[in-house]
Structure 1
């Protein structure tokens, strides 16, 4: 059954995937209500940087901790020196809804700095979130700025799925307000009468010499779908094997939605 306990020691925590594993790494789809796997393909125990999929977990933490108070608050202004590589949507005032919609890194960094490492570690332990390592790059003391961005924090597709299943079944130690507000701010779309919520993620892996391999980025898409009392949870992890146009996370999204749609029946 897909909701079995997971032993962290069993998984790779390598900083990069060998060339033989490039391309699709894992696709997972499950029914969390019936505790039933629907699709499992690839190496779903492989741990990789969560990249921006960490925003899902971070949103739960920030709402529960009182940092995020509603879908439009806090609204924080962009300042010079903030991460700005995401373009114009990062260079303006941002609220929780836009944070997730446009995947604004500096907003995440303000949240993690407010929370601090101790609270992040406590929530990560409660969530069984991968290797729970917020130390950041070795010797740089930058965990609060980039632990989840091709750095120390790693998670496998199976572990992502476990968290999503616990979330949709309301098995996490969270308030009803956190469940409701996190759902409100998560990007979603309608497919076959189902509301599909999800978060992309993309990051360039670090090589052994500390550089970034910009030809072979990781891409994630993780989320859940709901219709009435029915639920589906899904995860896709891939790594490009060459430089390609567009975002790897968007390719992961397209891949898993094609696989998911047959399981979204009317």
Structure 2
């Protein structure tokens, strides 16, 4: 929506409000107060839906596809599911509680207090701790990391990082060289859940068990959010165009489906675009299940 359109919407609201007060007044002052609050509420966050995909987890059959699910963008923190597979298969991750790693000065800490301190694999996935991912990729080394991502067939499998910066081990999956589409996310999840990735079954089970869970409309969701911002040519971030992912699966009454949602902000908003995409998915879930025939 353009700025002019926003202004038009505001004028329309003002007109409605003035008619309420100049015409028939609400008999109940609580109603009047509620109307005032209605017009003071902030506008909902606006984002373009890039892809919504629901597929049967066992067969991979697509039940619902909306948008452009072949568009590749950064996986951001959804890559932690793949990195959990790789890290466990390489012997770097033992179980949900080990190894515990300590934050050190100089490590990213913009995620808040949960990033500053002792972090287990469970904490890493739940709180989306970037520096824990970086410790794993550095322990793998550039060659082994690249080979492992390529073996999984994960997106474009390019973990070289920003051209000329040699930062593939630090951020190739965050608005950098590694990209993936919604369809490819679903394919990776299908192979994870059906134990057909080229790693040990124990490593796939480990990654599946780390995925964060939520209850939504009678369904149990497991998955990972991801949010990142595009870089401009001057290497600054465009905070008005954040990408927001949810990649996971949902279960109810023995039925399991893969669920992938990708959206891109149309203006700047506080908070994580990944969390907003997840929350919108959960809010829309009753309608999505109806359209998917679930």
- TM-score normalised by the chain length of structure 2: 0.78
CA distance in 2 between counterparts of 1:119 and 1:35 reads 29
Structure 2 residue runs of 5 or longer lacking an equivalent are 1-46
Structure 1 residue runs of 5 or longer lacking an equivalent are 1-21
Q: Partner of 2:247: helix, strand, or coil?
A: strand
Larger radius of gyration: 2
Q: CA deviation at 1:97?
A: 0.2
Residue 246 (structure 1) aligns with? 271
Q: CA deviation at 1:40?
A: 0.8
Q: CA deviation at 1:212?
A: 1.1
CA distance in 1 between counterparts of 2:61 and 2:208 reads 23
Residue 187 (structure 1) aligns with? 212
The question of whether the paired residues in 1 share the 8 Å contact of 2:93 and 2:99 is answered with: yes
Q: Is 1:36 paired with 2:65?
A: no
Deviation per CA, 1:11-39: give whole Å up to 9, x if none. Answer: xxxxxxxxxxx621111111132332121
CA distance in 2 between counterparts of 1:193 and 1:25 reads 26
CA distance in 2 between counterparts of 1:240 and 1:139 reads 28
Per mean C-alpha deviation after superposition, the further-off stretch among 67-76 and 126-135 is 126-135
Q: Is 1:73 paired with 2:98?
A: yes
Residue 8 (structure 1) aligns with? none
- TM-score normalised by the chain length of structure 1: 0.86
Q: CA deviation at 1:209?
A: 2.9
Extract structure 1 runs of 4+ deviating beyond 6 A. Answer: none
CA distance in 2 between counterparts of 1:191 and 1:202 reads 21
Q: Partner of 2:58: helix, strand, or coil?
A: coil
Q: Is 1:88 paired with 2:113?
A: yes
Match runs of 1:209-224 below 5 Å = 209-224=234-249
Q: CA deviation at 1:70?
A: 0.8
Q: 1:99 aligns with which of 112, 115, 124?
A: 124
Residue 138 (structure 1) aligns with? 163
Residue 289 (structure 2) aligns with? 263
Q: CA deviation at 1:154?
A: 0.8
The question of whether the paired residues in 2 share the 8 Å contact of 1:235 and 1:256 is answered with: no
CA distance in 2 between counterparts of 1:23 and 1:88 reads 31
Q: 2:260 aligns with which of 232, 235, 241?
A: 235
Q: Higher helix share goes to which structure?
A: 2
The question of whether the paired residues in 1 share the 8 Å contact of 2:193 and 2:208 is answered with: no
| CA-atom RMSD in angstroms | 1.9
User: How many corresponding residue pairs?
Assistant: 245
Q: CA deviation at 1:178?
A: 1.4
Deviation per CA, 1:193-250: give whole Å up to 9, x if none. Answer: 5431111111111123322111211111100123465221011111101011322111
